[in-house]
């Protein structure tokens, strides 16, 4: 009678022994909160593309009259000219509010108004141009962005130079030249 129970008893013992050997996996050890690594810091913004503040266009007196004005097409030049010398000897920076004009003296401050949207900025003449005869001024990328004209590349503008805007002691009311007189 014992013989008939040996095989099932042996199988039962083997199966129980197999269960005893397999223990459930232990959960991974938790590090104390003090040892948790801090989250990664966000990358800093690119220093080369930090926009410069837009210069304010001060209001003028009702009697203010420009000593120079013109209306026509403006275009802009940007990053590919960065670092190159301008005709005034300065290095061009597309983030500055500068412009190129054929005849106005270097350092002249101009109010440039986009006639399609009324936005205006003040730029300083630092270069000669534009070299396309149908345009009256080339402005920097920063000025083009402030005028909301960079998408089209050109815009119809009004440019004006007021005595009130010029640096004290720097420019006189005669800042344009015809190209024949000595500069």
Hey, what domains does the chain have and what are their CATH numbers?
Answer: 65-165 (2.40.40.10)
Whole-angstrom Cα distance, residue 37 to residue 69? Answer: 63
Whole-angstrom Cα distance, residue 72 to residue 57? Answer: 20
Low-confidence ranges of the chain (pLDDT < 50): 172-183
| Residue 92 near residue 52 (C-beta atoms within 8 A) | no
Output the pTM of the full model. Answer: 0.61
pLDDT of residue 117: 94
C-alpha torsion sign, points 144, 147, 148, 149 = negative
């Amino acid at each position: 009678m014992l013989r008939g129970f040996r095989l099932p008893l042996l199988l039962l013992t083997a199966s129980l022994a197999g269960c005893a050997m397999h223990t459930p996996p232990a959960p991974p050890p938790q590090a104390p909160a003090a040892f948790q690594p801090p989250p990664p810091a966000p990358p800093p913004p690119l220093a080369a593309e930090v926009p410069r503040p837009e210069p304010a266009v001060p209001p003028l007196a009702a009697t203010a009259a420009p000593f120079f004005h013109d209306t026509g097409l403006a275009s802009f030049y940007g990053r590919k000219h960065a670092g190159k010398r301008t005709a005034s000897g300065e290095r061009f920076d597309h983030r500055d509010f500068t412009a190129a004009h054929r005849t106005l003296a270097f350092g002249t401050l101009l109010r440039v108004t986009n006639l399609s949207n009324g936005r205006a900025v003040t730029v300083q003449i630092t270069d000669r141009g534009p070299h396309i005869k149908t345009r009256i001024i080339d402005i920097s990328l920063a000025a083009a962005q402030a005028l909301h004209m960079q998408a089209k590349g050109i815009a119809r503008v009004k440019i004006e130079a007021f005595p009130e805007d010029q640096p004290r002691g720097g420019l006189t009311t005669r800042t344009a030249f015809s190209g024949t007189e000595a500069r």
